[in-house]
Amino acid sequence: MGSPMARKAILGGICVDTGQNLGQPLTSLVHTFIGVAGANRDAEPLCKLLSWAEPCNQINGISCNSAFLRDINSV
């Protein structure tokens, strides 16, 4: 989850699970962001197998319908 978390830090705004303000976007300072091997869109096949696992939760997990991934991918 490091790559998606870094993307959220760059985007700033409100944290989807705690409601904490992460500050203003840093997008004007980042021209290109390259994330390697992060679950930036989803890990749905994995989450279908491990639906009970914490990393696949619907709030801040790597499931494609999680609030976190919907938030960072809506920009």
**What 3-state class would DSSP assign to 21?**
strand
> Could you tell me the residue ranges of all domains in the chain?
2-31+40-73
At residue 23, the pLDDT reads 97
Residue 41 or residue 10, greater confidence: 10
At residue 45, the pLDDT reads 76
Q: Which of 30, 42, 37 is nearest to 70 (CA)?
A: 42
Residue 16 or residue 50, greater confidence: 16
Q: Residues 18-66: pLDDT tens digits? A: 999 999 999 999 999 888 866 766 677 777 777 777 888 888 888 777 8
